[in-house]
Copies of this chain bind each other. A is one copy, B any other.
Amino acid sequence: MKKLPDIKQDFSGWYNEVIYDSELVDHAPVKGCMVIRPYGYAIWENIKDVLDARIKATGHHNAAFPLLIPESFLKKEAQHVAGFAPELAVVTHAGGKELEEPLVIRPTSETIIHYMYARWLRSWRDLPIKINQWANIIRWEMRTRPFLRTTEFFWQEGHTAHETYDEAYEEVRIMLNEYSKLAQDYLAVPVFSGFKTAQERFAGADITTTIEGIMPDGKALQMGTSHLISQSFAHAFEMKYQDREGKESYPFLTSWGASTRLMGGLIMTHGDQKGLVLPPKIAPIQVVIIPIFKSGTDNSAVMNMAKSIQEDLRKDGVRTHIDDEESKTPGAKFFHWELKGVPLRIEIGPKDIEANQAVVVERIEAAKRFISLTNLKFEVISLLDMMQITLLERAQARVHQMRHQSNDLAEFGPTLENDGKFYQTSWCEKAECEAALKEYKASIRCIVDGLTYKTCFVCKEPSKKEVLVARSY
C-alpha cells in the first residue's frame, strides 16, 4: 500500500497527500477551489454544530445576506476596498446581458450587511444587533492549498452593532474567547490569543484580535479573528440612529469569523506518519468496529456481536461504524481507518467472543488492549475522553518546546525559516521594525500580554509591546 511522504522530512508533502488519501477533499476543476468530500464535510459539520450552538448561546441569530454585492458598495470604505480589490471575482454578465453595474462575489460581507443594518436601525431600542451568517466566500488567491487558503471557502461571519464602544469591545473579546475554546476544547489545538498590529489588521478595522495556532513546522496559522470595525463604516453607510438622549448617533460595530481553515489546523496539529488523527469530539466516526471473519465458516455470531457492540455504544451517543466489507483483509482495514484518523478501533473475532473480550486499539499509542465485553462501553468512553485530553496536552508540549525567547532579530531571524521555532520578543511599535521581519518571511502574529525585554528586537530602542513572531500560513 501507498505510503505518505515522511512527516518530519517533508511536512508540506505529507499534508498535500494526506488530505487527498484520507478523502477529506479533492481537486476541483476551478483553480484554487476545493471539493470537500463527505468525510471532510462531516468533520466540518461537527465543528459547525459546536460553534453554531455557542453563537446562539451568546445571543446571536443566523440570517442570510446576498452572495452578490454591488461593486460600488465596496468602494464606500476606502481601507476596505484597498484590502479586497485585488482578490475580487466579478460578475459582469447575467441573464444574457451585460450588467449596468458589475457585481462582486462577497469576499466578506461587511458592506452589504451594514447597508441593511442602516435600514433596520432607527432607535437605541434596536440595539444591539447581533447577527451571524454561515456562507461561502470567494477571494481570488494566487497560491492556494486546500483548507489553508482557497479561492472559495466556507465560514461564519458575525456582524454586530452596539450603543457603546465598551459593549462592542466586550463583544470582540467574547467571540475571540469562543474561538479559543472551540480550538482548544474541541479541536485540541492550542492557540495564542492577542491583538494584530496595524499592519496585519482586517481592512477597515480599528482592532483585530486573533487566535494563532503553531503548526509542527513552526509556522503560525491564524484560525479565527474578531474585529472592532472602524466607525467609518457606520458613517459610509449612514447607519444613524436616535440615541437615549434623542440625538443622532452612529453605532459601534464588530465582525468576527472562523472558516474551513480550522480543518487545516486540525489536520496539521495531530496527524502522524500513518495519516490523520482526529480528536474524538469532532471525529465523524469515533469507533470503527472490525469483525474478524474466518473464511469457510459461519460468521454470523461475529457479525451479531459487532452489531450488538455498535448498538450499545450508540445508546451513549458514540459515533460508530462497522467495516464488514468482505473483499478486504483486516490488515487493509486497519490501514484504511488509521489513515482516516478514527480514534478507536475494536476488533472482534470468534476467539474473542469465546474469551468474552474485544481487542481495542487507540489511534495514538496503537497498543492492543484486551478488554472484557462486560466493561467495553465504559472503557471505550474513557479512552475517547482520555485521547481528547492527550491530544491537546501533546500539542501543548510541542508548542512549548518550539517557543523561544530572544530580543535580537539578527540572532533569531535565520532560525525562523527551517528550525521549527517561533519567538516571543519585545517591540517598539514602529512599522519599520516590524517590516524587518519580511527578510525572514516572518511577521508579528500577535501582540500578547507582558514585556520580557526592555529593548526592541530590531532597533534596540525602548520596547512597548510583547509580540509573537513566526512565519505563517
* Residues of A that sit less than 8 Å from B by CB: 26, 28-30, 33-38, 40-42, 44-45, 61-70, 73, 85-96, 102-103, 105, 112, 115-116, 119-120, 125, 131, 136, 138, 140, 142, 152, 154, 327
A41-B63, A67-B136 given; name 13 further pairs at CB < 8 Å: A29-B73, A29-B115, A33-B68, A35-B63, A38-B62, A38-B63, A38-B131, A41-B62, A42-B61, A64-B154, A86-B95, A89-B103, A90-B91
A115-B29, A136-B136 as given contacts; A64 in contact with B91, CB under 8 Å:
no
Q: How far is the CA of A61 from the CA of B23 in the complex (A)?
A: 13
Q: Is the beta-carbon distance between B66 and A152 smaller than 8 angstroms?
A: yes
**Chain B residues near A33 (CB-CB < 8 A):** 66-68
A190 to chain B, nearest CB (A): 28
Q: How far is the CA of A90 from the CA of B70 in the complex (A)?
A: 15
Closest chain B residue to A154, Cβ basis:
B64
- Closest residue on chain B to residue A116 by CB atoms: B35
B70 touches A125 (CB 8 A): no
Residue of B nearest to A68 (CB): B30
Q: Can you list 20 A-B pairs, Cβ within 8 angstroms, ordered by A?
A: A26-B119, A28-B116, A29-B66, A29-B112, A30-B70, A35-B64, A35-B116, A36-B64, A38-B62, A41-B63, A42-B61, A42-B62, A44-B64, A66-B152, A68-B138, A89-B91, A91-B92, A93-B102, A94-B140, A125-B327
Question: Given A29-B73, A35-B116, A86-B96, do A41 and B64 touch, yes or no (CB 8 Å)?
Answer: yes
Complex CA gap A44/B88 in Å reads: 30
Residues of B within 8 A of A35 (CB): 63-66, 116
Residue of B nearest to A85 (CB): B96
Q: Is the CB of B112 within 8 A of A69?
A: no
Say whether B90 contacts A61, CB under 8 Å. no
Bound CA span A95–B116, Å: 27
In the complex, what residues of B have CB within 8 A of residue A66's CB? 28-30, 33-35, 152
A94 contacts across to B, CB distance below 8 A: 88-90, 140
Q: Pick the contact of A68: B37, B89, B120, B154 (CB < 8 A).
A: B89
A86 to B96 Cα, complex, angstroms? 6
For residue A154, give the distance in angstroms from its CB to the closest CB of chain B: 7
Which residues of chain B are near A140, meaning CB under 8 Å? 94-96
Q: How far is the CB of A107 from chain B (nearest CB, A)?
A: 11
Bound-state CA distance A67–B138 (Å) is: 9
Given contacts A61-B38, A64-B36, A138-B67, are A87 and B93 in contact (CB under 8 A)? no
- A37 to chain B: closest residue by CB: B63
Closest residue on chain B to residue A45 by CB atoms: B62
The distance in angstroms between the C-alpha atoms of A33 and B65, with both chains bound, is: 9
Say yes or no: B95 contacts A142, CB within 8 Å. Answer: yes
Given contacts A90-B93, A95-B87, A95-B140, contact A69 B116 (CB under 8 A): no
* A119 CA / B23 CA spacing, docked (Å): 13
CB distance from A120 to the nearest CB of B (A): 8
Q: Closest Cβ of chain B: how far from A153's Cβ, in Å?
A: 10
Task: Give the complex CA separation of A85 and B88 in angstroms.
Answer: 24
- Among residues of B, the one whose C-beta sits closest to the C-beta of A88 is B94
